Each structure stands twice: as structure tokens, then as C-alpha cells.
Amino acid sequence: MTPNGAQTMMRHIAGEAVSEAPVARRMVLIADSHVKMGTLGAERFFEMLRWLENTSYDVVFLGDIMELWIGVPSYEDDTQKSFLEWCRREKEHRRIYFLEGNHEFFVLAHHRDCFSEASSDELRIGDVMFAHGDSQIAEASHRRFRWWSKSPLAHFLLRWLPFASSIVRRIKADMERRSLARTHRFPGSELALWCKREFALPNAAQSILVGHFHREFTIRRKDGRLFAVLPAWKDSEEIAVFDPLNNFLDFRIWRSVK
């Protein structure tokens, strides 16, 4: 039985992980913390994790939790390993959900067992859909780079070839360029269209909760359905508390959450 008291059944449909277990407990959602080893941000991030240990929340990591995380042996640093250890330990006490962001590569290929449920694109839990967001709202060039950088070929090169460090430098430079471009343009209209399209689908979710875009953005429809983008944790240490029973989302600085 799961910590929420319901047996989990998982399906995988076109890159979307789907759990048929109902969502009951409140959740803390964390997006875009971009944690770097040896920084004050990393210290505060793990302080937040220690706080979570003493709460009853389930936890959803919506991607880009680490600044550049290549989940291949010999590439991971101590901060990333400590995070995995925390997730593996805490999933015995709460549900730990993880979405692999566009700054994270092959984490699920090597560490899926550290999380209660995880996906690289979308994760459907009952009537709630979680997504990082970069694969849904992206230019063609980003989609091509995303496909290549997460492909089996890239995994093989990173793991076995001596010049793999040059691949990592290319990935990092491309991410920095895209991140800079994103700070100058927030795709509000594209997100609204995505919201409209998703909620028009058969068996649509009641809530769609997204990271990646580093800015709070909410659409509450007349039919009660919710579409929301989380702000980046790295900017203000802001999280969201989500009550799935009432479809209610509250953005807060984590230290102010009871």
C-alpha cells in the first residue's frame, strides 16, 4: 500500500507516466531550484528538505532541481548524491514525485528507484497532471536539442567516450543561452493555448501544474479547473502547497508554511 493508503497502478502512454492511484494528501511543489554544490542556495535547499521531514506533505519536484545533473556514473557530485539519498529515505514516509527537467539528463535511467513515481515529460496522478514544461512550449531548435541530449547515443557517449566532457560543455553553453533568452520573454499566450487545448481533451485533468518558466502564472477556469506555473525556487525560495481534494494552490516562501 502507498503512504496515501491506495495501491498505485502505473501506466505509460506516449512519454506520460500515469498513476491510477487517487491523490489525497496535501503536496509541496518545488520547481527550478537549480542547486549548485558548495553554494548558499544548496545549504538552504537542504535546510528545506530537513524541514519537510517533519511535515506530512507529499513532495513533487517539477524539474531543474539541480543546475546541471548528468545522472551517469562519474558525473554526479556529492550534492546530487545527497539529494538522491534523501529521496530514497523519505519515500518510505511520503510520496516523492520527480519530473526530469531540461537541466537534468539520464537521472531516471539510473535512479528511478529513488522516487515513488517519476517521468521525463508528464506525470498524471489521479486528476492532476504535473509537467516540467519545456517539451510542451518550445521552439523547434529546443525540441531537437532536447531529443539529442537525452538520446541513447548521448548516454553512450557520456558514459564511455573520453571526449565526453566536450559534450557536457556544449550542453551547458546551450542551456545558458536558452535561459538568458527566456528571461526576456514569458510565453503567456502560448501557455494559455496549451491550457485550453489540454482541458479540451477527453478525460482531461482537473489541474495542470508546471515548472520551467520561472514565473508565477495561474489560470482558474469557470469550471474549476486549474492551470498554474510555479516561480523558480532559486529566485525567492518560493514553493507551492497544493490541496488536491479542494484543487487549491497556495504560493508561499517555504519558511512561512506550517
Phi, psi of 187 (to 5 degrees): -85, 60
Is residue 188 within 8 Å of residue 217, measured between CB atoms?
A: yes
Q: Which residues contact 215 (CB under 8 A, 6 or more apart)?
A: 186, 229, 231, 232
Q: How many CB atoms lie within 10 A of CB 50?
A: 9
Going residue by residue through the chain (258 aa), what tens digit of pLDDT does each one get? 333 433 333 444 445 565 555 566 899 999 999 999 999 999 999 999 999 999 999 999 999 999 999 998 888 999 999 999 999 999 999 999 999 999 999 999 999 999 999 999 899 999 999 999 988 877 777 778 788 888 888 888 888 777 676 667 677 677 666 666 555 578 999 999 999 999 999 999 999 999 999 999 999 999 999 999 999 999 999 999 999 999 999 999 999 998
Whole-angstrom distance, CA of residue 219 vs CA of residue 197: 13
Give me the pLDDT at residue 74, please. Answer: 83
Phi, psi of 65 (to 5 degrees): -70, -40
Determine the distance from the C-alpha atom of residue 232 to the mean position of all C-alpha atoms in its chain, rounded to a whole number: 11
Give me the pLDDT at residue 115, please. Answer: 98
Give me the pLDDT at residue 179, please. Answer: 62
Nearest Cα to Cα of residue 67 among 249, 250, 234, 252: 234
Give me the pLDDT at residue 19, please. Answer: 55
pTM, full prediction = 0.85
Give me the pLDDT at residue 181, please. Answer: 58
Whole-angstrom distance, CA of residue 219 vs CA of residue 227: 5
**Tens-digit pLDDT profile for residues 163-219:** 676 667 677 677 666 666 555 578 999 999 999 999 999 999 999 999 999 999 999
Q: Side chain identity at 1, as an amino acid letter? A: M
Is residue 15 within 8 Å of residue 47, measured between CB atoms?
A: no
Give me the pLDDT at residue 201, please. Answer: 94
Find residue 59's DSSP bridge partners: 28, 96
Is residue 101 within 8 Å of residue 71, measured between CB atoms?
A: no
Give me the pLDDT at residue 176, please. Answer: 66
- Long-range CB pairs of 214-222 (<8 Å, 24+ gap) are 214/32, 214/182, 214/183, 215/186, 216/251, 217/186, 217/188, 217/191, 218/249, 219/191, 219/192, 219/195
**Tens-digit pLDDT profile for residues 240-254:** 999 999 999 999 999
